[in-house]
Structure 1
Amino acid sequence: MTFIHSHRVRYHETDAQSFLFNSRYLEIADVALTEFLRHLGFDYAGLAHTYDTDPSVVSAQLTFTRPARFDEVLDFRVACVRVGRSSFELAHTVMAGDAQVAAINIVYVNVDTELAASRPLHPAVADALTRYRSAT
């Protein structure tokens, strides 16, 4: 099971060649995370208060296959590839139609914002991520 977040490349996101600027991929992946968590039943805005969960990026790897262009619709296909005690990893396969544009792997760690330290994922969040991972 793969979650898909679609995004049309807008003019202000492109560079002089009308290619999606490289940093924008991470911005869109961040929106895809929010929508993925919503798909799992979690309201991102209330995640920290209700589930003591505040995922922060600790590692991101991007591999570009070809440029995404202005006005193309990109599908960020999100898969959960690992769930740990205090972290999880999402793999995004970025597609424009049938053509792969990029691959993005992001590791998130759950952060205690008061202590600025990692803390275990809430069991409800960890279970939902694990169930989703098992279904893929």
Structure 2
Amino acid sequence: MSQPFRYYLRVRYGECDAQKVVFNARYGEYVDLAVSEFIRAIGYGAQMVSSELDFQLVKQTTEWKAPSRYDDVLECRVATRHIGNTSFTIGVEFRLAGEEALRASSDTVYVMVDHRLGKTPVPPAFRAALEDGAKGRSIDHAACGR
């Protein structure tokens, strides 16, 4: 991912399991947070809140490489991987902030839906925003000063 959008989060105590690492299911929540901030960064936060623009997760694949632990600051690199007629795929790569080693990665396929939850085409302006991808921008909810 070249100059991807970055979202920083700090691992909280309650997100860890008995092995003292981030519980695997939490990565789905982290993806949701990172993608939500990505959508805001590309200019569609208000449309998501108003339900003017809506999509549903239809597939998510996560691969783990190394554990993350309580109080780690994770850098989530977010980028659009693919855009189809009614769907798009967003990739999130997890790293310890300041390091290049990959901790985990997740690809999520979303389908655009209308108010009746039927498939609908990806709107042209949203498609263009997804393609631009908020490159080089970041949101820091970990308060690590990045």
**Range of TM-score over shorter length:** 0.7 to 0.9
Between Structure 1 and Structure 2, how many residues are aligned? 130
Deviations 1:22-80 (A, max 9, x none): 1110101101111001110111313x22xxx2121111110000111111000110011
| 1:94 and 2:94 aligned | yes
User: In 1, Cα distance between the equivalents of 2:133 and 2:8?
Assistant: 19
Percent sequence identity over matched residues? 35
TM-score, normalised relative to structure 1: 0.88
Mapped pair 1:45 → 2:46: no
1:1-136 matched pairs, under 5 angstroms: 1-43=3-45, 44-46=48-50, 48-49=51-52, 53-97=53-97, 98=99, 99-114=101-116, 116-132=117-133
* TM-score normalised by length of structure 2: 0.82
RMSD: 1.7
2:74–2:95 Cα contact (<8 Å) kept: yes
Give the AA of the match of 2:123.
H
Describe the SS at the equivalent of 2:133.
helix
Gaps of 5+ in 2: 137-146
Separation in 2, partners of 1:84, 1:104: 18
Higher relative contact order (CA 8 A, sep 6+): 2
Gaps of 5+ in 1: none
Q: Which has the higher strand share?
A: 1
User: Tell me, what secondary structure is at the counterpart of 1:120?
Assistant: coil
Question: What is the CA–CA distance in structure 1 between the aligned matches of 2:119 and 2:34, rounded to whole Å?
Answer: 22
**Whose helix fraction is larger, Structure 1's or Structure 2's?**
1
